[in-house]
Every structure is written in structure tokens, then in C-alpha cells.
Amino acid sequence: MFPAELKIRDLAIRPATILAPMAGVTDTVFRRVIRSLGACGLIMTEFTSAEGLTRKAARTLHYLYFDEDEHPIAAQIFGADPDVMASAAALAEDLGFDHLDINLGCPVKKVVKCGGSGLLRDLPHLEKLLSAVRGAVRIPLTIKIRSGWDENNIVATDVARMAEQIGIEAIAVHPRTRMQGYAGSADWKIIRAVKDAVRIPVIGNGDIRVPEDAVRMAAETGCDAVMIGRAASSNPWIFSQIADYLATGRYQEPDESDRYHLLSDYFRNLIAAGMPDAIGKMKQFATLFTHGVRHGGELREAVHHAHTTAEILDRVDAFFAHTAASPAD
């Protein structure tokens, strides 16, 4: 049975689906794309450096910008120093987020050196960090973890029990180890084990590629919500597809017109928002969004070799106008 809602203290998240925080992806423009397509209960920021936040670095603060229509929204921060994390958490609370999440799952080497999944190697230190952050904020506090550092150090249930005692109010579990990265398969049995170990809500994450996966994860693990990352970056419709699948047992795939309008609107919104890395984002999402599009490789090639935002928009418009006028293969 798929959960109707996720309750984190007095915050009711309906439906029980969450956009995972992704560096370079879940900025305010992309989050509003997800909101516009509907059926995503909670969106999250890119994971943000606590060190940068406490220094009030302009680039770091930019990661935490959001519009009022993005609520409910959570900020995710990472770091290894308990005092710095506590200060950053208080700053994030002051910005008006509905809740705060701590990243204990990122496997990237430069993040592991100062937080992320690296903290799973030192649970006494992690306990100090979580306690410091819990004492610094009044809003709901959650964590996102991996199963452990490697297959010989699976600590998800230990971390979950410790977090619950400290006052953490929900835990998202990506059941791969740090050493796995994104390779292999997510071991959903670990989500089940965490669910059985604690009373706080448990959010399942990992290997949800289509709506059927989300429903199967909920059934197999008993999780209280599902969190989707990489699949949403290439198929932003997945949340509305899950809602349709739950309601009717069916869902539609986006057609080329849907992809054109989403891609074109997203690009124009990037430009309007003054994103400093708009060209890079446009090239990244042209690659993600156009798999499954007829002759999509030609569009990816054209966008990759463009030099300005205007040139990219022209090539996107020209490509879809041409394919609309061409007979199907």
C-alpha cells in the first residue's frame, strides 16, 4: 500500500513523494519545473556547504534561494564541524525553510573529506554533530544517509537509532554504500531493516526509475515515502506519473511536444533567473531530457556546439519544428 502522506512533526507532505537534493540540478528553476508538473510532495535544495553558508559566500547563498511558491521546501546542508553545522542550520532556518536536512550520503570525494557519507565512518563524532544541529534549530530536522561506508561497515540501522534518540524526525535511506557510488543495485532490504528499527518516518531512495518501482519499494520496505533523484532529472514527469499510476493503474509517457515545451520553458526561465551557469545547465539538460526523442542525438550535438543561450534556444526551436514537420520513421 503506497502511503497517502508523510508526516514530519506538524508538516504533512502530500503526496508522499520527495525530490532528492542533487548538486547542479535542483536549483530554484528546476524545482519550479517539478512543482509545475504536480504531484511532488516535497522539494529540496541542492546540498549546500555549511562552511560556505556561515561565511555568507554569495555562491553558497545562491544555492538556498527559493520562491514562496516552492513551499513545502527543505534545505540540505553538509559539513563535518558540529559548531559550523549548527550555525549554518540556524541561518537556513532564518531563511524560512519548512525543514532542514543533513547530507550523510554524498559519495563524492571532495564532499566526503568534509562531511557527506564520510561521517558514517565515525559515529561518535556524528552523534556530536547531530546533537549540535538539533539544539540549534526549532524546525523539523531530518537526515539522508547511505547504508554505510562499505559492505563491511553497514551502519544504517545504528545511525537511525542514534538519530531518533537525538531528536531527528525522519531519515531517508539510500541503500548503497559510499564505495558503491551509484554502481550496482540498491539493497532495499536495508530500508526495511531501518523501518523495523525505529519509530520515526523512513524515506526510501534508490533505483526508482518508473512508477512501478516506487509502488514496489513501498510494498517491500514499508517506507513512509519515496525520494527520487536521478530519474527525476531525466524524467521530471515521474511524480505525476506515480500519481496517475496509483489512481488508474496507467500513466502516459511525455511526447515530443511535451519535451519541447518543458525544455524550451526551462531554458527561458534559466535565462530570466540570471543563472551564471545557464549555458552549462542548458547543455546538461538537453542531454537528459532528449533521450527517447526521435533523432535526439542530433539535438544534443547541436546544443553541445552552441556558444550562447540565444543560439541554444534557436537550435532547440529549429529542431522540434523540423521533427514536427517530418514524418515518423
C-alpha cell at 248: 488508474
Q: Which is it for strands 73-78 and 43-44: parallel, antiparallel or unpaired?
A: parallel
Show the DSSP H helices in 50-116 as ranges. 50-54, 58-63, 82-94, 109-112
Residue positions annotated with a catalytic role = 106
10-49 as b/e: b if 16+ CB within 10 A: ebebebbbbbbbbbebbbbbbbbbbbebebbbbbbbbbbb
Name the nearest CA neighbour of 157 among 183, 195, 123, 119. 195
Cis omega (within 30 of 0) on the bond before 15? yes
Residue 280, beta-bridge partner list: none
Cis omega (within 30 of 0) on the bond before 175? no
In contact, 279 and 309? CB cutoff 8 Å: yes
